[in-house]
Structure 1
Amino acid sequence: MTDRQTLMAFLTANLLIVNMLLSLFFLPGADYCSGQTPALIITTPNILEALTGSCLQIPCTYETEHPTYNSSKTIYGVWIKGGINLLSSPGIIFHSSGSINNYSLDITGNLKEKNCTTLFPNLTTRYTDKYFFRVENGAFRATAIDDPLQITVKDSPWSPSINVTSDLKEHQSVTVTCSAFTPCPNSPPELTWNLQQDSLRHTEKNTDGTFTTKIQENITLSDTHDGYNIRCSARYPVIGGNKTAETEVTLSVSYAPKDTSASISPSGLVSAGSWVELSCSSRAKPPPTFTWFRISEHGDINVSVGQIYSFNATEGGEFYCEASNDLGQQKSFVILVDIKDDKASEFQILNILKILGIVLLCTGIIIFECWFRFCNKPKKEPEEPIYVNHAMVTKTQ
């Protein structure tokens, strides 16, 4: 064979390969380079994640307006793994005719209704790759090369998400939702949390065709929920066991003042003209402002604003504080500022000393009188006994 014949044979073989690949990926006469509308368009998420040992459901629909497409004829779906390269053999892993099924795939959608939803079972990390969908229908053969699907298979599960309104207030009724991504609706994750354990689980279909599993609980908030940690765990069933991930959210609840109280320093009676400090405390969120009032016969008088009220006590009185924020207010109990009378105290001490002196004097007199009487008491003479008829009779003097 001459060099010319060898060259012609090589060119002919390459031309046949190119024509075969063109017939595989393009419609006859379709010119993608000129920017015309692709012969096949599929709708599916651009990126999907899956969990090793579980399954993955790929939501998929397709559209075509090409005149050679005929829904009355048999329609085959084909999945191709890897990049599209016209100079290499395509990585066909599935053909709905049954001729190829390397990954045990199953097109669960009705291809005649342009539904190409597909189930990937028992995934492993080697499934991670880019995938293309192809439709074969008589003379119509087209691959959606403009709509690749990236599948990523991971070993660790996704942490669930806890959704609750951000602006939380006491007495408010809210719905708390724990959601978990569900790539395999046939085996949804089991959700548990530290709220009411009989929360019903349900799986919802998202707008893009994927699924989410949820549990919900309605709670009426109080100040005790502020700082409360809600924990939710998602347990995914996989081949050989389960894989679990957990999420925790801390609630931030606003509430009106609670446990408002007032104190005085120094405590007890206060000397006139000395400094007195009144202090107010309260538990509230957001932090409260404090106002001090003095009770008078003409009504309660606002005497100070602030947590501490210091003043020179010239006279006594009754005081209380009020804590308030946007959600409410609360009053403390009343504190009595009692001024002691120093002159009266001295007079009282003198009176006490006088009384004590009188008591001591009287006591001494009584003791002396008793001693004197005891010592000067006259002695009695002894009685003479007499005898009458041998009987002793006492002679009374």
Structure 2
Amino acid sequence: MIDNVSTADHNLRVYVWINPDSQTTQTFHDQTVTISVERKAPIIYIQKKMVEGENFQANCSIIYSCPFLPPSLQWNANTLLENYTFVDFHMEVHGQWFYQKTLRGVATYLMHNRRIRCSAKFKTFTMGSEMKLNILYKPITVTVKKEKKVVVEGDSINIECVANSNPPPHKYLWFIRQLDQHKIKNSTQSTKHFNNIARDTSLSCMAQNAFGVQQSVWVDLDVQFKDCFDVI
């Protein structure tokens, strides 16, 4: 075992010389080993798409050269993970050793765009890698966003259906309620233009992507109008 290997030892050739102090003329230089010194970060690999509510698995692996002093792999402790566990795996690969630490848990939409990190700690240094998570989830919150707070009766207005989802919604349903009348309009756009706004109008929208649907609460429009009366 060669201890305390440094980058200065890169491409160093070593060999065994039997009885170097003897008077024999035979030396054994013909079988040499070249030391290749590398400093690599661990590799993070996620096996499949991560969908909210489903189990996921992320692997962190490293190749090392000495089984007597293996590195330690450590996932960052992320409080957004639910019901997570770790599994260690070791095996020899072509004269070196492969170490993998698997993180298993339940995906949540709160993990989307967060970063997970894995660190490999060797005797004298630590190397780390990180990955940005992409969690697929249905619309979680859907809200109606008005272009303006007050609208005059008979005027027009743009209303936006804002959804927190991944991927973005591909279909929207608009629900219009005016007194005893109810209407439904389909759209592929998040913003809808409404003409001839009447008093006592309420709106709601439903957003849909490949993983589910969600509807907003009803929003009453603040419609200004003039009272008509006869003067005697």
- TM class by shorter chain equals 0.7 to 0.9
8 Å CA contact retained: 1:264, 1:278: yes
Taking a change above 3 Å as real, the CA distance of residues 303 and 244 of structure 1, as seen in their structure-2 partners, is closer
Q: Deviations over 1:354-394 (max 9, x none)?
A: xxxxxxxxxxxxxxxxxxxxxxxxxxxxxxxxxxxxxxxxx
2:24 paired residue number: none
Query: What is the TM-score normalised by the length of structure 1?
Result: 0.46
Residue of structure 2 aligned with 1:311, choices 186, 189, 194: 194
2:25 paired residue number: none
- 1:179 and 2:61 correspond: yes
8 Å CA contact retained: 1:258, 1:282: yes
2:132 paired residue number: 250
- 1:222 and 2:108 correspond: yes
1:35 paired residue number: none
Query: What is the TM-score normalised by the length of structure 2?
Result: 0.74
8 Å CA contact retained: 1:93, 1:100: no
Taking a change above 3 Å as real, the CA distance of residues 162 and 339 of structure 1, as seen in their structure-2 partners, is closer
8 Å CA contact retained: 1:291, 1:306: no
* Superposed CA RMSD: 3.6
Where does 1:113-128 land on structure 2 (aligned, <5 Å)?
A: none
Where does 1:1-397 land on structure 2 (aligned, <5 Å)?
A: 53-54=4-5, 93-94=15-16, 99=19, 132=31, 151-154=35-38, 157-195=39-77, 199=86, 201-206=88-93, 208-237=94-123, 242-268=124-150, 270-289=151-170, 290-295=172-177, 300-302=183-185, 304-316=187-199, 317-337=201-221, 339-344=223-228
TM superposition shift of 1:326: 0.9
Give 1 or 2 for the bigger CA radius of gyration: 1
Structure 1 counterpart of 2:121, which letter?
R
Structure with the greater relative contact order (CA < 8 A, sep ≥ 6): 1 or 2?
Answer: 2
Taking a change above 3 Å as real, the CA distance of residues 314 and 181 of structure 1, as seen in their structure-2 partners, is closer
TM superposition shift of 1:257: 1.2
Q: Distance in 1 between matches of 2:152 and 2:181?
A: 26
Taking a change above 3 Å as real, the CA distance of residues 272 and 299 of structure 1, as seen in their structure-2 partners, is closer
8 Å CA contact retained: 2:139, 2:163: yes
TM superposition shift of 1:272: 2.6
Q: Where does structure 1 lack aligned partners over 5 or more consecutive residues? A: 1-50, 56-80, 83-91, 102-130, 134-148, 351-397
Structure 2 counterpart of 1:313, which letter?
N
TM superposition shift of 1:331: 0.8
Q: Distance in 2 between matches of 1:181 and 1:261?
A: 49
Structure 2 counterpart of 1:169, which letter?
V
TM superposition shift of 1:308: 1.7
Give SS of 1:258's match. Answer: coil
Structure 2 counterpart of 1:293, which letter?
F
For these two proteins, the number of residue pairs brought into alignment is 211
Q: Distance in 1 between matches of 2:185 and 2:85?
A: 53
Taking a change above 3 Å as real, the CA distance of residues 337 and 304 of structure 1, as seen in their structure-2 partners, is farther
8 Å CA contact retained: 1:293, 1:303: no
Greater strand content: 2
Q: Distance in 2 between matches of 1:291 and 1:174?
A: 32
TM superposition shift of 1:193: 2.4
Q: Deviations over 1:170-210 (max 9, x none)?
A: 1121122211111111110122221379846442223x343
> Kindly, what percent of the aligned residue pairs are identical?
21
Structure 1 counterpart of 2:161, which letter?
C
Give SS of 1:224's match. Answer: helix
Taking a change above 3 Å as real, the CA distance of residues 204 and 275 of structure 1, as seen in their structure-2 partners, is same
Give SS of 1:343's match. Answer: coil
8 Å CA contact retained: 1:191, 1:201: no
TM superposition shift of 1:332: 0.9
TM superposition shift of 1:339: 4.7
2:26 paired residue number: none
TM superposition shift of 1:54: 4.8
Give SS of 1:274's match. Answer: coil
1:126 paired residue number: none
8 Å CA contact retained: 1:280, 1:307: yes
Give SS of 1:171's match. Answer: coil
